[in-house]
Amino acid sequence: MITPEEAESIIKLSEYVYSHEQISLDASLGRVIAEDIISDRDGPPFDRVAMDGIAVDFDVLYDKSEKNVLDIEDIQYAGERAKTLKNNIGGAIEVMTGACMPIGTNTVIPYEDLSIVSKQVTINTLPLSKGKNVHRQGTDFKNDEVLLKKGTIISSANIGLLASVGKSTVDVKSSPKICLFITGSELVNVNETVQSHQIRASHQYTLGSILRAHALNNFEYKIIQDDENLLRSYIEEALLGEFDILLLTGAVSKGKKDFVPSILESLGVEERFHKIAQRPGKPLYFGVFSNKKNVKNKMVFGLPGNPTSAAVCLRCYVIESILRAQEALYPKQSIRIEGNLYFKRPLTLFNLVSYSENNSAKIIHSSGSGDVISLSKSDGFVELPANINESPSGTYLRFYSWGNKKL
């Protein structure tokens, strides 16, 4: 059996850099930027009033004048072109937050330090320094500066920056078309009547949500009975169709109806590996289909049938591969574990964890890979390499999150 690192290297060999597409800024959250985002102007684009009050020329006020009573010449509102202070010794312009600083002024004295009677303002407290309460042009960023690097995953916090520089549409990496076939004659849909020997299919929800949490929304699924001909025709259709990635769950092991590997082989999918020295997720299958008509290879992942194994393999191999192909910039995360982790077997252990209240990862002791309750409580999983048997509470391990929000 190969190791997880070998599996990753084999998958990498079949990756190609994804193309890109223009999408509306509204739909861009979580997507990977395909070009450096460069400012088209300074930020702020002008010396911007940061407090409501009066704008004055600080130097003149201090050096050439002892006056603390000034005439208000005008009002400068936000959204107006900059006005000009005429009398910089005895005059001032009232200014509103967000406005341009009037020409000839450099400092704002806020209302709380002023008394205004009619058109005359008395300064009660002089500002401490020149430039006070002014958000100077270009202090956030300069024109022609790289604001977000190609590869950035667009977050709530940086989507506003894209708006600031006029990106009503954004050039992002394409999202693969993903097809999920859930195999198993015991499976019925959630809205159907379930008999005592049947199980309701849940992969489409769990795997679908994990994909969507990583902005992979281009996803279809089908539940297919263990019928060799039926399965073959669906797989063939998918391989010749528009999908970039075919995911299958179940039927990759040694059972009499585990048709997936042989069907894939007969349809020309080249097996690259089958089984990894890890728990859970050992039966993972990976193959590549290259249709001569297409330039792009199609990746085929045969995920194990049980929920935790399938979710771990999806996160660890499929999503990581897509992010690499999208050239996404993101650091590999590690996390401090709470609870001891022991695993003596020469396999890499992926262990479910949940966030503790102080942002560490509580080890979830699962009764087995079919334990949907443990999966349900988890926020992701940590990786204990095969050559390490023990990781005590407080140590750091590589962490994969399901991509869910955290409060």
Q: Which is nearer to its own copies, 30 or 104 (CB)?
A: 30
State how far the Cα of 334 lies from the Cα of 385, in Å rounded to an integer: 13
Q: Residue 192 half-sphere exposure, CB side, CA atoms within 13 Å?
A: 13
Q: Residue 41 half-sphere exposure, CB side, CA atoms within 13 Å?
A: 13
Rg of the Cα atoms in the chain: 30
Q: Which is nearer to its own copies, 196 or 229 (CB)?
A: 196
Which segments of 77-155 are extended strands (E)? Answer: 91-95, 107-110, 114-117, 120-123, 134-135, 146-148
Q: Which is nearer to its own copies, 186 or 270 (CB)?
A: 186
How far apart are CB 9 and its own copies at their closest, in Å?
A: 20
Provide the residue count of the chain.
407
How far apart are CB 60 and its own copies at their closest, in Å?
A: 24
Are 173 and 327 spatial neighbours (Cβ–Cβ below 8 Å)?
yes
Q: Which is nearer to its own copies, 254 or 293 (CB)?
A: 254
Which segments of 111-267 are extended strands (E)? Answer: 114-117, 120-123, 134-135, 146-148, 169-173, 178-183, 187-188, 199-200, 219-224, 245-249
State how far the Cα of 323 lies from the Cα of 333, in Å rounded to an integer: 14
Q: Which is nearer to its own copies, 229 or 359 (CB)?
A: 359
DSSP state letters, 326-355: TT---PPPEEEEES-EE--SSSEEEEEEEE
How far apart are CB 173 and its own copies at their closest, in Å?
A: 15
How far apart are CB 161 and its own copies at their closest, in Å?
A: 4
How far apart are CB 259 and its own copies at their closest, in Å?
A: 12
How far apart are CB 41 and its own copies at their closest, in Å?
A: 8
User: What pairs with residue 135 in β-bridges?
Assistant: 48
Q: In this structure, how many other beta carbons lie within 10 angstroms of the beta carbon of residue 236?
A: 14
How far apart are CB 294 and its own copies at their closest, in Å?
A: 29
Q: Which is nearer to its own copies, 19 or 358 (CB)?
A: 358
Q: Which is nearer to its own copies, 143 or 389 (CB)?
A: 143
Are 279 and 352 spatial neighbours (Cβ–Cβ below 8 Å)?
no
How far apart are CB 344 and its own copies at their closest, in Å?
A: 16
Q: Residue 294 half-sphere exposure, CB side, CA atoms within 13 Å?
A: 14
Q: In this structure, how many other beta carbons lie within 10 angstroms of the beta carbon of residue 17?
A: 10
State how far the Cα of 26 lies from the Cα of 304, in Å rounded to an integer: 36
How far apart are CB 59 and its own copies at their closest, in Å?
A: 23
Q: Which is nearer to its own copies, 81 or 292 (CB)?
A: 81
Q: Which is nearer to its own copies, 80 or 296 (CB)?
A: 80
Q: Which is nearer to its own copies, 226 or 383 (CB)?
A: 226
Q: What angle do CA 25, 30, 35 make, to 5 degrees?
A: 65
How far apart are CB 63 and its own copies at their closest, in Å?
A: 27
DSSP state letters, 278-330: EES-TT-EEEEE--TT-SS-EEEEEE-SSHHHHHHHIIIIIIHHHHHHTT---
State how far the Cα of 10 lies from the Cα of 250, in Å rounded to an integer: 22
Q: Which is nearer to its own copies, 60 or 261 (CB)?
A: 261
User: Is the bond leading into 4 cis (omega within 30 degrees of zero)?
Assistant: no
How far apart are CB 321 and its own copies at their closest, in Å?
A: 13
Reading the block at residue 261, the tokens are 């590997």
